[in-house]
Structure 1
Amino acid sequence: MAINLVAYQQILQELNPYNARLVAVSKTKPAEDITALYEAGQRIFGENYVQEMTEKQGVLPSDIEWHFIGHLQSNKVKYIAPYVHTIHAVDSLKLLQEINKQAAKNQRIINCLLQVHIADEETKFGMDVNEIESLLTAFTENQSVYANIRIAGLMGMATNTDDESKIRSEFHQLHEIFNNIRNTFLKDHSYFKELSIGMSADYHIALQEGSTMVRIGSLLFGNRNYSQI
């Protein structure tokens, strides 16, 4: 079996005291591997590529909760809008508007997480605090326009480093931004509650810093084969 069921059960036990959920990152992995983890009880799966996720969604059980966790181009939203549950990496007002538009066409409501840039690497996507506040101002002033999306929380990626204190500082910073947004812009929105931080290498720190969702792939599925995408 390609998946690590021992690691899966251990991760679930570690998440339980924090009431956090596992997003099993299945990018580049075959549907058979997802099925094996599904049969073990997992229902939330995260994918980074639109075509790959759409192909898998078409052949896998209908009760899977699909999360799109990669960088999403506005012109690709229409392909996942019929079924995606949560989009983790909303990094512009333009993208938020397009998700709302495509969700309305499909008579759905899609959960969105705003991606905040907290890492040192410029290659990582995400908005800074000023951009987030500008987006939220536009959203709160025109909430009736955005009837088909929910801003359900924030997402971020820490710097790729072995310095745990730096990772902790970045996650802590994001949690403070989360609390500030909840207490100002979205204090009347009970669904603003998700903090998507933590991956295979740093999820323990993320949990301690308030994560409600961890995105874990390699610990469950092994190394990825990018030749398959």
Structure 2
Amino acid sequence: MTYQDNVQAVRQRIQTVQQESALASEDVRLICVSKYHSVEETMSLYQVGLRDYAENYVDGLLEKKAAMPDDCVWHLIGPLQSRKVKDVINEVDYFHALDRLKIAKEIQKRADHVVKCFVQVNVSGEESKSGMAPEELEAFIEDLAKFDKVEVVGLMTMAPHDASDEAIHSYFGRLRELGQSIQAKKLAYAPCQELSMGMSSDYPLAIAEGATCVRIGSALYQE
């Protein structure tokens, strides 16, 4: 398999699910998770058309961004420590793991522009997962009104690796419902029209439940 084959296979799978599922979004952003992979490997994916890249760690994102072309779109998808906000917040296009007011306050202090953020929700309740409990989401969103550098473009979640397809559908469906409840409030600072969910192992299920961003690593880099 070449990198081009991998990208075509993932895009084809996305298109198939879009055609088969009534809940699927017409526009799905394919985000390449480039952690654990070299700049050279990642450039190979750039050369076959990918422009969205995600890193879990600040240092990895800064290293890749410095080496990659300027038209790349950068997503930080891992938890962010408050002391690291100043290093990265003006280097990212999207932050997918906002789940604490402390981080929102630091973004407000350090950002030189409005930062597009996803609020991370721990829909499955796994103790090992970051993110807030679903029942905490509404109050958290309301608290963000005071930060004009934070725009909540959507919600993010991860499904357990060992869950059944039925359970994964329910987790992703729950995030969609939570997003719709925030959308209905018509908050200017929290349009919440995006859903960041789905990885290499479960992205077709995520798209079937309305994902607008999928975060794919191994399926794009496999040889």
* TM-score for the superposition, normalised by structure 1: 0.87
Distance in 2 between the 1:14 and 1:96 partners?
36
- Give 1:203 shift: 0.5
Q: Partners of 2:126 and 2:151 in 1: how far apart?
A: 28
Query: What is the TM-score when the length of structure 2 is the normalising length?
Result: 0.89
Aligned residue in 1 for 2:102: 94
Match of 1:216 in 2: 216
Is the 2:85–2:106 contact (alpha carbons within 8 Å) kept by the matching residues of 1? yes
Tell me, which stretches of 5 or more residues in structure 1 are unaligned? 224-229
Aligned equivalent of 1:227: none
Secondary structure of the equivalent of 2:129? coil
Name the amino acid aligned to 1:166.
A
Could you list the per-position Cα deviations for residues 62-97 of structure 1 after superposition, in whole angstroms to 9, with x for gaps in the alignment?
A: 111110011111111111122100000111111112
SS in 1 for 2:92: coil
SS of the aligned residue for 1:58 comes to helix
1:136 equivalent among 130, 133, 141: 141
Pairwise CA RMSD of aligned residues?
Answer: 1.9
Q: Matches of 2:139 and 2:148 in 1, distance apart?
A: 19
Distance verdict in 2 for CA 1:195–1:75, change over 3 Å: same
Q: How many residues align?
A: 214
Distance in 1 (CA, whole Å) between partners of 2:194 and 2:138 is 17
What is the aligned partner in structure 2 of residue 24 from structure 1?
32
Moved over 4 A (4+): 187-191
Alpha-carbon shift at residue 119 of structure 1 (Å): 1.9
**Pairwise CA distance, 1:33:** 1.1
Q: Distance in 2 between matches of 1:119 and 1:23?
A: 23
Q: Which residue of 2 aligns with 1:9?
A: 8
Amino acid at match of 2:132: M
Partners of 2:42 and 2:191 in 1: CA distance: 28
The separation in 2 between residues aligned to 1:30 and 1:190, in whole angstroms, is 35
Give structure 2 stretches of 5+ with no counterpart: 19-25
Query: How far is 1:162 from its partner?
Result: 4.6
**Where does residue 52 of structure 1 map in the other structure?**
60
Q: Percent identity?
A: 37
- Return the alpha-carbon distance in structure 2 between the equivalents of residues 152 and 54 of structure 1: 23
In 2, the alpha carbon distance for the partners of 1:193 and 1:139 equals 16
Q: How far 1:190 moved relative to its partner?
A: 7.8
